Chain A
């Protein structure tokens, strides 16, 4: 069974940093691209970042480019999102999601981890 479990969220002050993790199981993690998606309270879904299976290709949404860094450790089956210079508008539930094979998008999602940016 495919499982994605996020952790590392919490309350953080504006301008500070936070690092999220997503541990994958039930599939060969190193064969799949991965994404971070976020959802502000009561709002819609926003794609944040993508990393290819071997980390060769990395893309960011304009809203986080230069502040967030996506990375992965295939030996540990873990995806990361390093977030710096956090703003109140980064407050959201952050999901990790697997990119399916044959360009099928976001076929499995984690349960999400909450990040609250507030003083």
Chain B
């Protein structure tokens, strides 16, 4: 089974700052067939269902602001949120869908 290690557990930033969330997989998520990384990022606001932000490691889902940026390949991935807004208060999860589905443990983003 693929294990996803996500960090940090939590972070607190002020509005306008940038945050970086990391996710590391126990094996490569890069498909040799189509050269796509099977890694997605989700945002879960308090009391809500998760929302897809990024898929294929770096493709933003329709309607997602461009301050959300996914990067990385193989086993190491990053979600960067630039110019953090108060509305970005949420838990963030990475998800590998290369082999079945495995979520990272989550990162709680707090706004100072």
Contacts and interface: CB of A to CB of B under 8 A. Distances in A.
Interface of A: 35, 37, 44-47, 50, 59, 61-62, 95, 100, 103-107, 109-112
B49 A111 contact: yes
Contacts of A110: 49
Interface string B48-83: 011110011000010000000000000000000000
A106 B61 contact: no
Interface of chain B, helix or strand or loop or mixed? loop
A105 B93 contact: no
A86 to B, nearest CB: 22
B103 A47 contact: yes
A47 B101 CA distance: 6
B95 interface: yes
A50 B49 contact: no
Contacts of A109: 49-51
Interface string B84-103: 00000001010101001111
Given A103-B38, A106-B50, A46 B97 contact: no
Interface residues of B, number: 24
B101 A105 contact: yes
A47 B105 CA distance: 12
B23 interface: no
B40 A105 contact: yes
A45 B49 contact: no
Nearest to B31: A103
A111 B103 CA distance: 19
A41 B53 CA distance: 23
Interface string B25-62: 00000000000101010101000011110011000010
